[in-house]
A and B are shown apart, each in its own frame.
Chain A
Amino acid sequence: MYMKRSDQMPVSNHSQIKPRVWMGVAAMLGCLLATAAPAQQAPKQKQTLSFVVANWDNAIYQTKFMDECPDGPAIGNDENWWRWLSRAEKDKQTERGLTQPVDRRFASVLRGPKGEDVCWNPTVIQEAPLRTIKGKTSYGFNLDGAGDDAATPKSCKHENFTGVDGASGVDNQMYRLLGCHYGWRHNGVLDTFGNEERRNSGRGVVLIEISGIDDPRNSADVSVAFYRALDSFSIDSAGRILPHASYRIDMNNGKPRYGAVAKGKIVDGVLITQPIDLKLPFYGNSAYAEIDLRDMNMKLDLTLGDDGKVRGVVGGYYDFDKWWEYMLKIEFLIATGDWSCPALYEAAKRLADGYPDPKTGECTSISSAFKIDALPAFTLHTTETAENRK
C-alpha cells in the first residue's frame, strides 16, 4: 500500500490550510537557495488534491414559480391510472385498503392491457405526453459543439439551452425530461434519498483526484482521475460527512476498478476538464447502477464553501439503457417520486439526443448534467479490492 506523498495538503483554498501551502513553498524555496547548484533548478513539486463526492443530484434549474413547467408538474403513475378507473373499480381498490398512491403503487403499475407491468413494458399503453421543461436556461455543457438545434454526427436534432452562466448551446435533455417531476426537483425525494443512502451505506462512493497541480489557483495542465472508494464515509455525530478522511481506491487486477482520467486545467480556482468517456459507480434508492457518461465534462470550483465543500457540475451523454435500467430498479419509488413509466419512456426516447445508432438513426443516450459537491479527502492507492478488503 502506498499513498501519493504529494497529497499532504488536501485542500487548495481552505483558510486553515493555505498557510501550509505557503510554508511548503517557502521551505522549498529555502532548500533551493541553500542547496541547488547555480546551473540547476530543482523541479517544482506538483500537488495533488483529492475529494470525496458527497452529493450527486440531477442539475435542475428551477424558478420560484415553476415557470419552466408552464403545463404544470408531470402527471404521476397513480393519477394516470386512477383517473381512468370506473367508480366500481375505485370502490374495489378502496375496499382493499388501497387508499393512498403509495399503497396502490404495485397495483397501479400493472395496468397494461393484459395486466402487464407498464414500467417493464412501457410501450404497451400510450399516455398523454409527458409535461417537460419549456424554459430556456439550464445547467450543463455544450456536448455536441453545436450552437444551434441541428443534428450533428454525435447528436440528434434537439433544442439547446442557454447555460446558467450565459453559455450558448447547452445540451441537457435529461433536465427537459425530468425537470417537471417533484421527485427530481430541489429537495425531491429521489436524489435526496439517493444521497442519504449512499452516505449511510458507504456504497458507490466516488473519489476525484486532481494531480499535477502547480498552483491550486491556476494550473495549465492537470490530470483528473475518478475512482470508487473501498471505504465508507466518515460521519460525525450529527450524520454529516467529515472532510479529510482517507479512502482506499477499489482495485481490480492491479488497476483501479473505476479509474477514468481526464486532462484539465485550473483557471482562477475552477477546475475545467476536457471531455472523456466516464463510467462511475452509483448507489442510491436501494439500487446499484453504473453511471455511463460519454463526453463527460466537469467544472469544479475548488474554493471551499462555508460548509467545507467544493461544488461543481458534471455533464455528458448518459447511456439510455443504463439510465432506464436504474429507473426499473427504483420502480418501488414510483409513487413517492411521482412519475409514470409509459409517458417518461416515450419522452426519453423522443428527447434522447446523443450518439445516434448508425442503423436506426435513433439516439442512444441523453445529454445530462449533475450538480455535485465534494469534501477534501485523501486517496490511498492500494492493492485491495472490494472482494478482499479488510
Chain B
Amino acid sequence: MMAMIKVPQDIKAKSRVVVLAALAMLGLSACGDSEPLSSGGPATFRRLTETQYRNIITDVFGSHIVVAGRFDPLVRTDGLLSVGASKAVITPSGIERYAALARSVAMQVVNQQSRALLVPCAPVSAYAPDDTCAKVFFAKVGRLLYRRVLSDAEIEQHTKIANVAGAARRDFYVGLGYGLQGMLQSPDFLFITENTEPNSAKDSTERLDGFAKATRLSFLLWNSSPDDALLKAAETGALNTQDGLEQQVDRLMSSPRLKAGVRAFFTDMLALDDFSTLEKDTMIYPAFGLAAADDAKEQVLRTLVDHLVGRDADYRDLFTTRSTFMTSALGLVYRVPATVPGGWSRYEFAENDPRAGIQTLLSFVALHSHPGKSSPTLRGKAVRELLLCQKIPDPPGDVDFSQFNDPNSPSKTARDRLTAHSTVPACAGCHKLMDPIGLAMEKFDGAGQLRDNENGSVIDTSGEINGMKYSDAKGLGQAMRADPSATSCVVNRAYSYAVGRTIDRNERPVISHLEKSFADDGYRFTELMRRIATSQALYAVSAPPVRSAEATNEESKS
C-alpha cells in the first residue's frame, strides 16, 4: 500500500485569496505596525516526524518507554523536512515498521511495570475484558495521541478490539495493548490532520479549529502534541480569543520544553538530519569518529539554544559568536581542551582563533564537505541555501569533474582547482555564487580541523559577498551578520515550519510584517516565535473547508 497525501488545492479559492491579500495590504498600510490580515494558506495533512513521534510517546507514556525502530525518511521540500512531511509517502515497509513500533510501545505501556502508572483504572478482573476501564483508558490516552477529543464511536471501536483480544488471551491488559496498538497505527495519530471551521457565522472565511490550532502551536513551540491544558483551551474555545491564545503561548514559551521546539526547528533549517549519513575517512581524519559526529550536531544545537533562548540574544550574532560548548570528542578535532571529560563544558574560542560563528563549527564545515576533503562548493551552497534561503540550481548532468579531481593537477589548492573548473561556462554561473563563500572556510579541512596550507601552498581565504569583502571565515561571518537575507531567511523558514507548508503568495505581507517586527525586537528569535504563535495568520486557512467527522455530522443535521 502506498499513500500519497497532498495538501488540497483549490483554484477557486485563489481569487478570494488575491482579494484578501489586497485587503491585507491595505490593512497593513492603514494600521501601521499591526499584523496585516491574512487569509492564510491551505490546511495541511502532515506525517509526524521521527522526533515528533518519539516526543509524543515520551510525553504521553514516559521516558522509560523505549521507541526502538526506524522511520521512513522525509523529503526536504523548500528547505524544510516539515514541509516535505505534507507530501509524505508511506511505503509498505514503512507501514510494517509503524506496526512493529506500535506493538512494542503498546506492550510496554501495559506490562507489569508500567500498567499501574499508565492505566488510570483497575479492571474488575485482570484476566477478562472490562468495558468500563478500557473506555476510560482509551478516552484519556486517545485524546493525547489524536490531539482531539475522540468520538464515542472511536472509543467503542478500540474498546471492542481490546475486549476481543483480552477475551482470547484471558488478559485484560494484553487486550488493552492491542487496542492501543491500533491507535498508534492509526492515521489519526501518525498524521497531523488540520480541520477547519468558519471564522464566524457571518463569515465565509475559514480558520483552523481549536484542536488544529492547539496542535500547530504545540508542534511549533514544543515539537510535540498538545498537553492536557492546551487541549482544554481548544475544547473551551479559549484559543479562539487573542487573550486565551496569548495565555497559552506564554505558558508554552515559559516551559523548558521550548528548547525542544527551538532545537527541532534548527535541526530542520540547518539540515542536521544529514548527520545520520555523514561519513568521514578515518584514515585521513582519525579524530573524526562517530562520537565527534554526534557531538558536533549536539554542539550547534546547544550553541543555538544557549544563544537564542538562554541568553535571548540577537540572531545575527550567531554568525560571529565565539561561544560554544565542547566535549572530549570534539576537543580532539578542534584541538582545544575539554574541561569536563565525558561531558559538556562551555567553551569560548580565543579572540585570535580563526573560528567564530556557527558557520565555522564542525556541524557546518565538516557536514558540508566530502568524506576525505573539504568542499568550498558544498559549503558555499549550504550558506546560500540553508542560511540565506537562496536556491542554487542543480549542476548540469554532464558536468566534467576530471580537471577538478585530477590528482596530478598542478593546482595545489581548492581555489586553483575551482578557478580552472569554473571557467567552463555552464558551471561558472553557479560557482560564482557558491565558491567565494566556501573558499573563506578553506582553512578548515574536510573534518573541520584547522589547517594553514593545502599541499604545501598557502590558503587564500579572501572573498566578497554582496559587495562586502572579507579575508577569512570570521570576516564572512561579519558579512553574513550584516546581510538582510540572513534574517529574512530565518523568518521565512520559521513561518513555513510553523504552518507546515510552503508560504502562500498571499502571506507575503505577513512575512514582511514579521521581518520588520523581528528587527524591531532586536532580532530575538524567541520573540519571532511568539509573534508567529500569536498571529492570526498562523491559524488562517484559505483553501476549502476541511471538516472533522463530527463537524460534518453536525452540519448535515442542521
Contact = CB atoms under 8 A, between A and B. Distances in A.
A19 B452 contact: yes
Nearest to A24: B352
Interface string A127-150: 000000000000000000000000
Contact of A236 (B286, B331, B340): B286
A64 interface: no
A238 B337 CA distance: 23
A240 B287 CA distance: 10
A245 B453 contact: no
A20 B334 CA distance: 13
A390 B329 CA distance: 17
B452 A244 contact: no
Q: How large is the interface on A (under 10, 10 to 19, 20 to 34, 35 or more residues)?
A: 20 to 34
Chain B interface main SS type: loop
B286 A244 contact: no
Interface string A171-199: 00000000000000000000000000000
A66 interface: no
A27 B334 CA distance: 20
Contacts of A234: 328-329, 332
Contact of B449 (A10, A15, A16): A16
Q: Which range contains the number of B residues in contact with the other chain? A: 20 to 34
Contact of A246 (B282, B339, B449, B450): B339
B338 interface: yes
A8 B336 CA distance: 6
Contacts of A231: 328, 341
A246 B337 contact: yes
Interface string A12-44: 000111111001101100000000000000000
Interface string B315-353: 000000000000011011011111111110000001111
Nearest to A231: B341
A243 B285 CA distance: 12
A16 B328 contact: no
Contacts of A309: none
B337 A378 contact: yes
Contact of A16 (B286, B350, B353, B452): B452
Contacts of B453: 15
A16 B451 contact: yes
A7 interface: yes
B289 interface: yes
Contacts of B340: 1
Contacts of B341: 230-231, 246-248, 380
A3 interface: yes
A7 B350 CA distance: 12
Interface string A226-240: 000011001011101
A333 interface: no
A27 B352 contact: yes
A202 to B, nearest CB: 11
Contacts of A24: 350, 352
B452 A246 contact: no
Contact of A10 (B283, B335, B353, B450): B335
A380 B452 contact: no
Contact of B289 (A10, A236, A244, A378): A236
B337 A240 contact: no
Interface of A: 1-3, 7-8, 10, 15-20, 23-24, 26-27, 230-231, 234, 236-238, 240, 242-248, 376, 378, 380, 390
A246 B352 contact: no
Contacts of A19: 452
A246 B287 contact: no
A2 B451 CA distance: 28
10 contacts: A8-B336, A8-B337, A20-B352, A20-B353, A234-B332, A236-B282, A238-B282, A244-B336, A246-B337, A378-B337
Contact of B332 (A23, A27, A244, A380): A244
Interface string B338-378: 11111100000011111000000000000000000000000
B87 to A, nearest CB: 39
B347 to A, nearest CB: 10
B352 A244 contact: no
A209 to B, nearest CB: 12
Contacts of A23: 352, 354
B335 A17 contact: yes
Chain A CB within 10 Å — which of B343, B350, B449, B451 has the most?
A: B350
Given A16-B451, A16-B452, A7 B282 contact: no
Given A234-B332, A378-B337, A18 B452 contact: yes
Given A236-B282, A236-B289, A245 B452 contact: no
Ranked 4 nearest A-B pairs via Cβ: A378-B337, A236-B286, A244-B335, A27-B352
A2 B339 CA distance: 7
A7 B342 CA distance: 20
Contacts of B332: 234, 242-245
B83 to A, nearest CB: 37
B501 to A, nearest CB: 43
A231 B338 CA distance: 12
A177 to B, nearest CB: 38
A27 B337 CA distance: 21
Given A7-B337, A17-B335, A244 B287 contact: yes
Contacts of A248: 341
A20 B353 CA distance: 7
A231 B340 CA distance: 11
Contact of B339 (A15, A18, A380, A390): A380
A27 B474 CA distance: 15
B339 A1 contact: yes
A243 B338 CA distance: 13
Nearest to A248: B341
Given A19-B452, A238-B286, A246 B338 contact: yes
A325 to B, nearest CB: 32
A16 B339 contact: no
B126 to A, nearest CB: 44
A242 B287 contact: yes
Nearest to A384: B341
Contacts of B352: 20, 23-24, 26-27
Interface centre among A10, A15, A245 (most CB of B within 10 A): A245
A10 B450 CA distance: 13
